[in-house]
Amino acid sequence: MIFKSKRTVAGLIVAVILFIGYLIYAMGSSAPAADDLEGWALLILKFIAVCVVAEIMVHVIIHAGFAASIAVREGEKDENTIKRTIKAEMTEDEMDTNIMLRSSHAGYGVAGVGFIIMLVAIAFFGASAVLALNLLLGIFFISVIVDSSVSIYLYERGGNGWTSGRGCR
């Protein structure tokens, strides 16, 4: 598995753990009342802040671990060789940009369809605002899973998963 896939997997694992933690908290007795829209909004904002901080920390740790592993693997080579190897592994090229665009499109597509589902739940089934907020958060989580999964799939296939025969668009 290449470094960029490992980085994506690590971020995905953190997102899954945090979302499970959110679900446990949201279903627990210390969650805001079912009709407390402001309480739920604050809880979701705090959750988003924790997710951002956790993702940053994981990426810093992953990059530091990657740099250390290259230094150990390269062993007795000079410092410039190690720096070039790290730079080569972390540099983004056209394939990386293409993969990022393809995976983002998949994630945004899921988010868009989910948003419409949330609107239908409100308009036709009378879903409460709190339920709609939590549904929207779940939809965004699913879109992150789809985005990350497509990214990992394309990286492991060398970027040719959906681009074969069509070129970059």
Residue 19 belongs to what domain range?
A: 3-156
In a domain, 19, yes or no: yes
The pLDDT tens digits of the residues spanning 128-169 come to 999 999 999 999 999 999 999 999 999 998 766 554 444 444
At 138 the pLDDT is 95
Q: Which pLDDT does position 159 carry in this prediction?
A: 65
- Structural domain includes residue 125: yes
Please count the structural domains in the chain.
Answer: 1
Residue 163 lies in a domain: no
Q: Tell me the average confidence (pLDDT) per consecutive run of 10 residues in the chain, 169 residues long.
A: 87 95 94 94 96 94 85 74 77 88 96 96 95 95 96 85 48
Written as one string, the DSSP assignment of the chain is --HHHHHHHHHHHHHHHHHHHHHHHHHSTTSPPTT-HHHHHHHHHHHHHHHHHHHHHHHHHHHHHHHHHHHHHHTTS-HHHHHHHHHHHH---HHHHHHHHHHHHHHHHHHHHHHHHHHHHHHHH---HHHHHHHHHHHHHHHHHHHHHHHHHHHHTTT-TTTTTT---
Write down the pLDDT at residue 160.
62
In a domain, 162, yes or no: no
pLDDT score for 25: 95
**Within-domain flag for 164:** no
